Chain A
Amino acid sequence: MTREEFISLASAGQASLRRFLLALCNGDAATADDIAQEALVNAFVASSSFRGAARFETWLFRIAYNCFIDRLRRRQIHTEPLDEKASSAVPSADEADRRFRHEDLYRALDKLPEKERAALLLHYMEDRPVKEIADIMEIPAGSVRAYLTRGRRHIKDYLEKWKTR
């Protein structure tokens, strides 16, 4: 696959991928974009092994999710609560504004384990069916359903607060 072919294939799902990673990284745009770049480069390197068994976008999301998990394991992504994050780092004006607007979502996802968070984001924000989420996260569909059920329970409180605003 040439670079041009790859870019034209990847560009369709690029915005969705970046949005998913941004929410997964709790609004840390620099880390999210870095993971997205790493995932796209990895996908380009491995593009000859893409056989079309899954959709290209699903395959891309799977690589990106694995990159995210790798960084999490290497502790390059800090998942401390938002309050601590806010006090330890001074974001730029643009980023602060952006974060403020999506704070509801980040707060709702903040304390969830990363698998629940990923399942919820893929299902409710990116509108992916359970089967595809299972392909992306490389877990059985039953586990995805379990993560979604648990996740729904966990964000219920935030949802109530959000509705009353």
Chain B
Amino acid sequence: MENEIREFFHATAPQPGDETSFRLELNARLAEVEKVRQYCDREIRRTRRTELALLIAGVIIGGLVTAVIILRPEPLVRLWEALRGLFRPGGAGQEGVSPLGNMLFWLLSALMLLVSVILPIVFSRRRSGWRA
């Protein structure tokens, strides 16, 4: 029985169509896949480079900010006071800070911080086409 079935299947096995056209089509498809794969590899490398650059920039900026907080250099303290003075009711050098001025100052600082962190990330994602 076993041999008969095998004989039947071998005798009636179908022959696939034209080998050349199949290979040509396969080659064309694989070439397309290779192109996409190379593009993806390039983009992944670029994204990794951008991420590395952002990480290094973050570490440097973080280090600088920490150093400034710890050392409090005189010129920066004066600049800080001058900036705060802009939001005082009577201008720089006047006593008493208005609550609105204080709030605006902190809002502006927070906005600048957010823009400096978010913009590079959005920019790098757009360039690389990467989505989480």
A positions within 8 Å CB-CB of B: 3, 6-7, 11, 14-15, 18-19, 22-23, 27, 29, 32-33, 36-37, 40-41, 44-45, 98, 101-102, 104-105, 108, 120-121, 124-125, 127, 152, 155, 159, 162-163
B9 engages A120 (CB within 8 Å): yes
Contact of B5 with A by CB under 8 A: yes
Q: How far is the CA of A12 from the CA of B8 in the complex (A)?
A: 24
Which residue on A lies nearest to B36, using beta carbons?
A45
Contacts of A121 in B (CB 8 A): 9
Q: Say yes or no: A29-B16 contact (C-beta < 8 A), given A7-B27, A155-B5, A162-B8.
A: yes
Please tell me which one of the listed residues B9, B16, B17, B19 contacts residue A125 in the complex, with CB atoms under 8 A apart.
B9
Number of B positions contacting A (CB below 8 A): 25
B4 engages A102 (CB within 8 Å): no
Q: What is the CB-to-nearest-CB distance from B21 to chain A, in angstroms, rounded to a whole number?
A: 9
Q: Say yes or no: A33-B9 contact (C-beta < 8 A), given A7-B30, A41-B33.
A: no
